[in-house]
Amino acid sequence: MNRRMILTAMSAALLAPVAIAQQTTTTQTAPATETAPRGAVNDNLFAAAAAVGGIGEVTLSELGLQKATDPELKKFSQRAIDDHTQGNKMLMALAANHNLRLPTTADPRAQFCVQSLAGLSGAEFDRCYAKAQLVVHMDAVAMYEAEAQRGQNPELKAFASKMLPTIKEHLKMIKPIAMKAEQEKPSTDDAAADDAGAEPRER
C-alpha cells in the first residue's frame, strides 16, 4: 500500500509544474499565438514550470541527502542540490529582467510527494526515491529540450540550452541507480511470506 501511495504522489507531482504554469500570471503579455511560428512553445509557461520544477527538485534532493542509505544516491542528491540551486538563481535573475512573476516555493503536490517519501526508510526509501528522481528528470529533459529547440525568448531559450546538459547528466547518473534498486527489491511472493511469518514459497 505504501508503494502505491508513493507512485500516486510522484505522478501527481509530475503534473504540478504544468498546473502551476497555467495558473501563473505575468506582468508581461505573452506574444500573440498567431505571430508565433508553428510548433513554438510558450516561454512564460516554461519559465513557471521550470521554477516550480527546480524548487521541487532541490527539496526532494535535500530529503535524499538526509535519508538515503546508498552512497551513490547521497552523491547524486548533493550534485542535484548544487546544480538546481544554481539553475534556480539563474532563472529568477532572468525573470526579474523580464518582469515575470514566478513561483518561489514548491507547490502542494510536490510537497506531498516529499512528505510521502519521508515516511519511508532504508532500502524502501532508496528504491522509491531513486524512481522518483528518474521520472522527474525524464520529464525535465523533455521540457528543457522543448524550450531549447522551440522557445521564442532568446534569453530563456539560452537558459534552457545551458541547463539541458546538466539535467541530462543527472538523468544519466540516476538511471542505473534506480534500475539497480528496482532489481534488488523483494519479490511479491517473498514479501507476502515475510508478512505472514512463513518461509518464501518455492518456485
Domain ranges of the chain: 2-23+40-184
Tens of pLDDT, residues 68-95:
999 999 999 999 999 999 999 999 999 9
- Which of 27-31, 97-101, 117-121, 196-200 is predicted with the least confidence, judged by mean pLDDT? 27-31
Mean pLDDT of 26-35: 41
- pLDDT of 189 over the 90 cut: no
Q: How far is the C-alpha of 56 from the C-alpha of 60, rounded, in Å? A: 6
Task: State the architecture of 2-23+40-184 in CATH terms.
Answer: Up-down Bundle (1.20)
Using alpha carbons only, what angle is made at residue 9 by residues 7 and 10, rounded to the nearest 5 degrees? 65
Mean pLDDT of 132-153: 96
